[in-house]
Chain A
Amino acid sequence: MRAAAGALAALWFASAAWAAPDARRSGFDDMTPALQSMQRDDAQNPAMLGVADGAALWQQAPGANRPSCAACHGDASVAMRGVAARYPAFDAASKRPITLGQRINACRASHQHAAPFAPESDALLGLESFVALQSRGLPIAPPADARLQPYRVRGEQLFKRRMGQLDLSCAQCHDERAGQRLGGATIPQAHPTGYPIYRLEWQGLASLQRRLRSCIGGVRAEPYAFDAPELVELELYLTQRAAGMRVDAPAVRP
């Protein structure tokens, strides 16, 4: 009798876990309907201006006898499909993980023999948003690469560590208090499903790194420099934490 009850209980728990809805919410779900339709409609989404810039850059050779992105990769909708969804990834050349933006700049240097784009430049954000668009609707798929593990662990430690004059960790707001309000704004769970985003506060496109730096500054800690290892590690942890959620890049966020 007890064995049967135990078996039934085990089955119930297993089915409950199996049927349990994903408690994770994208920042999209926290937005008002007006902003959600701004993002959904490509004719209205201001990030599509950046995508159009990126599409043009994709075809543009950086100089005589130097290939454009298209010359090597061909049609981006084929070649770049799923790429943004699996970054950051391990880079054999630099022997560490790199973000999509760093990958674009690495290609520019090594294959196109051109100067890298500056962080947050229109060109880099345009290309990133164009490439990210090719993964729209696909699940975030962090690579099952053991070489990434020590960096992910460090990213998680950074996420959970208190910092700054306000002595707050990312986790205290985005894990423990997500859904509650800070001022007039709902605290999101902070899943990077939509980057690069058109942030209304900045009236322009922005990368995840800019967002992380501004949050870190917001708790009055010294923000890490662009492309600092800490920002890459944080992004690695965040994408693992968001694994399986749908990419909705390029997104609109308040």
Chain B
Amino acid sequence: MARALITCPKTAQRGEIIEIRTLIAHPMETGYRAGPDGAILPRNLIRHLSCRYFDGHDDVEVFSAELFPAVAANPFISFFTTATASGTLRFSWSGDNGFAQTERVTLTVT
């Protein structure tokens, strides 16, 4: 399990546009770099981030990202979404070597 930090308000007003910032520990090895012995370090990337918003009725993907080797190690991604109703935001990262991680954050909407 990689360390992940999600910064998101815990509460918001209906219709408010909130900023979500995500940070996850991952080397994002490009596959272009040589190690100390000169051999190319194998590519090991997070390829995809998806954010789904489940408000008790709908489960909607509100954001997704395709990542390439040019994304820096320990990827930081920030975006905005509209607070519609109280629910759970589900963040799923996936990538090479079967990397898959999901984090959940609760949002209370008044």
Where the two chains meet, the residues of A that have a C-beta atom closer than 8 Å to any C-beta of B are 42-44, 46, 48-49, 52-53, 203-204
Contacts and interface: CB of A to CB of B under 8 A. Distances in A.
Contact of A48 (B23, B27, B72, B73): B23
A43 B23 contact: yes
A203 B27 contact: yes
Nearest to A204: B73
Contacts of A43: 5, 7, 21, 23
A197 to B, nearest CB: 14
Contacts of A44: 21, 23, 76
Contact of A49 (B7, B72, B74): B74
Interface of B: 3, 5, 7, 21, 23-25, 27, 72-74, 76
Contacts of B25: 49
A46 B27 contact: no
Contact of A46 (B7, B21, B74): B74
Nearest to B6: A43
Nearest to B75: A46
A25 B74 CA distance: 29
Contacts of B21: 43-44
A43 B18 CA distance: 14
B91 to A, nearest CB: 14
Given A203-B73, A203-B74, A204-B73, A46 B23 contact: yes
Given A49-B23, A49-B25, A203-B72, 13 more contacts: A42-B7, A43-B7, A43-B23, A44-B23, A46-B23, A46-B76, A48-B5, A48-B23, A49-B3, A52-B5, A53-B3, A203-B73, A204-B74
A203 B5 CA distance: 17
Contacts of B72: 203
Among A42, A46, A48, A52, which residue has the most Cβ atoms of chain B within 10 A?
A46
B46 to A, nearest CB: 14
B105 to A, nearest CB: 13
12 contacts: A43-B5, A44-B23, A44-B76, A46-B76, A49-B5, A49-B23, A49-B25, A52-B5, A53-B3, A203-B27, A204-B73, A204-B74
A42 B5 CA distance: 10
